[in-house]
Structure formats: structure tokens, C-alpha cells
Amino acid sequence: MTDSTNPTPPSDPDQTRLRRWRLILGEPAEAGCGYALSGLDAQIDAALGALYDPDGPGGLRGGSGASSPRVVRWLGDIRRYFPGPLVQVMQRDAFERLDLKSMLLQPELLEAVQPDVHLVATLMALRGILPAQTRDTARSVVARVVAALMARLDEPMRAAVSGALNRAERNRRPRHAEIDWNRTIRANLRHWQADYQTLVPEQLIGYGRKARRTQREVVLCIDQSGSMANSVVYSSIFGAVMASLPAVRTHLVVFDTAVVDLTADLSDPVEVLFGIQLGGGTDINRAVGYCQGLIREPRNSILVLISDLYEGGVERQLLQRAAELIQSGVQVIVLLALSDEGAPSYDHQLAAKLAALGAPAFACTPDQFPELMAAAIRREDVALWAAKQGLVTARAQT
């Protein structure tokens, strides 16, 4: 919240400071601050108090019933008083602190919520208990979030992957537009003509022509346990983008103790998300075994395992499968999270064992993921790429 929410903020710096402390500390601090709120400030204070003093006269405690207009009014108020990111924080606080998730089961309340990735994750978790009259509303909310994410992430992903594919295959007889001038110059430095101050390019090196055949196979293997909810949302979006590239064969596999292949639904990310059931146990070994069976050309394949690595299956077999994949030429990458949430909780020992086999393990943000995939397609050292990005990777056990 900033002073821009108040049309007439105090001009005195001391008064401004008192106003802010009063809004932060709530009504009990009014006497101590010596500052009385009025006008829009009082309305902002009421919206904050409804959430953070839920048992007070205007609190939200117990206000999530079917006939609860004050919850709808409160959701509208915070959207009017606060910027979007802060609205999302307050909504999450309401869901978690006051157990208002039941309001998402009501269409009129769900329509009032500002949608974001966290809301989509919550709806995915509640999918099995959504009443019929709410499902269409929930689907439209998810579709809005998916559309916003696609608008943000589609072009960076498409550009990074397409660029990497075009450079992954070189040709020695390029057309003029296909010449890689940096590599051509380096390859012909011995033909420098000092008298003419020019270089004779006897050997031309070009980017690979855009091939219609599949150049890379990417398998996204996603843990759908509750802690991975945001990662599932972002992975589905990226999977849909890659699936639209003719040169990339993309598979999307989700798992708990069972394995579900959602590749056929990749053209519709909303359908993918409604096909995911968050929660349950975790059998990473079984999921990796299934993915192993999908791979046709190991040396042109990338397996991205997105999991916190809390294995409920057979760890020894998982490590054996990972070793077999890596030895066959598959590039195996372990993402401990694909989200904006920072460092995740994960099984450090299993991450270290996988790193020792040659499968780097680290967390990645959605903004970094396109360049990660580009580096993998170019067959770069992904662990080195992660280090250059400042990403902390799991250390191999010695």
C-alpha cells in the first residue's frame, strides 16, 4: 500500500509516518500514535482489520457462508484500495488464516476473487468437491490465469527454444541468411589478408535449416503432491508452448503413487490443469520408469523431473533408472521447484545422489525456464548454466 491510495495524504513527514504506523498496527494503536484516520484511510483500515483482526466487529471470521455479502464486499474493497500483488497476498492470507476456502465453492464469491497462480492451485486441490454450479466459474477463472500466463511466457519460451534448435544443427553450405558470422570468422582467421585488410571466408558455417522433423524430445515429469502445486501450473503452460513447436516432441506426465500421461491434452492447458489431482503419496521411481519407456532417441532427449524428491517408492531403483537414462545419452534435469516461491523444501540426500550421477538439481523460476531449456537443447552443461544464473544446485556426495 502506498500514499497514492489516499487523495489527501499528510504533507508533514512526521504525520505521514504516524499515519503509516496507525494503518499497520490497527485501531488499538490509535491513542499511542496520536493519529486519527478519516475518509479513505478509515475505509482502508476497515478492510485491513476485517482480515487481520477477524474477531473484531467487522471481522471476516465465520463470514464465508452462502449468504455472506460482506465477504464479496471485502474482496471488492481490497481490489479498490490496494495494488494487484498486494490483493493476491491478502486473498491468500484470508484462505489460510481464516479457512475461507469454502467460499471458492460458491460462484458469486469465486467471481469476486482476483485470480492468480495460487488461486488456480487451490481450485485444483478442491476440484473433487466443487459443486456443479461452481465448476463452470472455476474453469473460467483458471482460463483467465492461463491466458495471462501464456501472454507472459509464450514468446520468451518460443524464442529461446526455437533459437536453440536453429543453432543446434550446423550446416557447411548455408544460404546467406543462414550464415553464422561469428563462427565463420573464427574458422577462417588463418585466411586474413593483411594487405587488403580483409578476410577470405573459404569455409562458411551456418545455423541449421529449420527442419520439419523432430530435433528434440522433451519429457516433463511432474510431481503432483500438494507442495508442488505452483510448479504444476507453470509446467503445464510451458508444456503447451513446447508442444506447439514442430521440432520438439513434448510429453507431459504427472504422478503421485500413480502415473497419468496428459500429453494428449497439451493443446488445452486448462484441460490439463483440471486433469490433475493434487495431493496423495509420491512414487518417483514408477514415474521415471514410465518416462523411460517414452523416450525414442536418448541422445536427442531431455527429461525434466520436477519434484521435491520426497520419494515414497524404491529409491535404489530410481537411482538405477536415472543412471541408465544418463548413460544412454538422455539429459536428465531435476527441478526442485518451478515457481516464484524461492528455495523449496526437498530431500537433500536424494538430490545429492542424483547430482552425483550427472542429473543437476536446483530450483528455477518461470522467467528462467526458457533459457534453461535452450541451454539443454544446445547440450550445454546445465549445472554450469545454473551456477552462472546464481541458482544453488544440490552438491554431489563424495
Q: What is the pLDDT of residues 176-229, one digit of tens each?
A: 666 777 778 877 788 888 888 888 877 777 665 444 456 889 999 999 887 788
Give the pLDDT confidence score for residue 315 in this predicted structure.
94
Residue type, 349: Q
User: Residue 271: its pLDDT value, please?
Assistant: 84
63 falls in which pLDDT band (50, 70, 90)?
very low
Where do you find CATH 3.40.50.410 in the chain? 156-163+214-389
Q: What is the mean pLDDT of residues 51-57?
A: 72
Residue 3: pLDDT band with limits 50, 70, 90 = very low
C-alpha cell at 258: 500413480
- pLDDT confidence bin for 102, thresholds 50/70/90: low
Q: What is the pLDDT of residue 16?
A: 75
**332-374, pLDDT tens digit by residue?**
999 999 988 766 789 999 999 999 999 999 999 999 999 999 9
Task: Tell me if 292 sits within 8 A of 305, measured CB to CB.
Answer: no
**Of 2-11, 319-328, 335-344, the least confident:** 2-11
Architecture of domain 156-163+214-389: 3-Layer(aba) Sandwich (3.40)
Confidence bin at 5 (pLDDT 50/70/90): very low
Residue 132 clears pLDDT 70, i.e. is over it: yes
Where does the pLDDT of residue 119 fall: very low under 50, low under 70, confident under 90, or very high at 90 and above? confident
Integer Cα distance of 361 and 305 in angstroms? 9
169 φ/ψ sector (left φ>0, alpha ψ -120 to 50, else beta): beta
Whole-number percent of the chain with pLDDT over 70: 76
Residues 89/100/123/125 CA torsion (nearest 10 deg): 110
The overall average pLDDT reported for the chain is 80
Cα gap 271→255, rounded to integer Å: 16
Distances (CA, A) of 74 to 81, 101, 179: 10, 15, 60
Q: How does residue 384 score in pLDDT terms, banded at 50, 70 and 90?
A: very high
How far apart CA 74 and CA 98 sit, in angstroms, is 14
DSSP annotation of 370: H
Higher pLDDT, 137 or 296: 296
> Distance of CA 237 to CAs 48, 120, 284, Å?
34, 13, 22
Q: pLDDT-based confidence at 294, cuts 50/70/90?
A: very high
Residue 1 is predicted with a pLDDT of 45
